[in-house]
Structure 1
């Protein structure tokens, strides 16, 4: 993506991402425990080191989606075959590559993933570490800031996306 994109900027620092970069786990590896492409973005090495395993603020969400979308469109244009799309199609519950390449569909599925993750049980944090569950609830403010299109809301009018493959549970704030 960096080879084909001029002036790709880091979503956190706005620095130009150059060839000597790191791949950041947007949702920390210590939480999701995988290296799937749909959770990785290129960032300068110094930015990746300083972010460490922190859950990013919701202000970076839209830029993250845009970089992911740019990567998908670039891969679709320059890579042969569909291997590059497999983890996106499977993990984000897309039925086709065309559906995956839509920016709005991508945003909707990432919101669904955040909802699913927010409903999981979190391990107790190490002493001094920030608990993850409140950070994910904070991220859910995205649902209200960005808005979920009416077509993606649950049948009963709630705010949980209608994504059966993710087995979503409506979140209630305690």
Structure 2
């Protein structure tokens, strides 16, 4: 009689344990679903904001490219203009005005927006090119039409977009 009771208790205990395991699995699944639902609700606005910001970045990149092209449209690159050992901005400005004027295209100081040598000054004999930014695109085209007259200096338009 003692062993029968203990077998029955053992079966009852096993049934109880199985039921508890089943309830634990259901509770875990319910908690997991609830937590995932809450996380999903919290993350949806972040995903929407990320998509909006991605579109905004693409739009700003296009605007930046347009601004870059627009900023370069008045640029001209002059090659072959001698470079002294020491050169100040005023000297470079005067040298560019003289070179362009010698090509029968009168150039006033007020028609120059910016002038500078490109690249790093090296000890070598290599002459760095000069970037000339004109105040109007019409002046740039006048300079470009005189390219054939150049013997030692050559002029190139600078409108291409550089990508980093």
TM-score bracket for the superposition, by shorter chain length? under 0.3
- Higher strand content, 1 or 2: 2
| Larger RCO, structures 1/2 (Cα 8 Å, 6+ apart) | 2
Larger Rg: 2
TM-score where L is the length of structure 2: 0.22
- Higher helix content, 1 or 2: 2
TM-score where L is the length of structure 1: 0.21
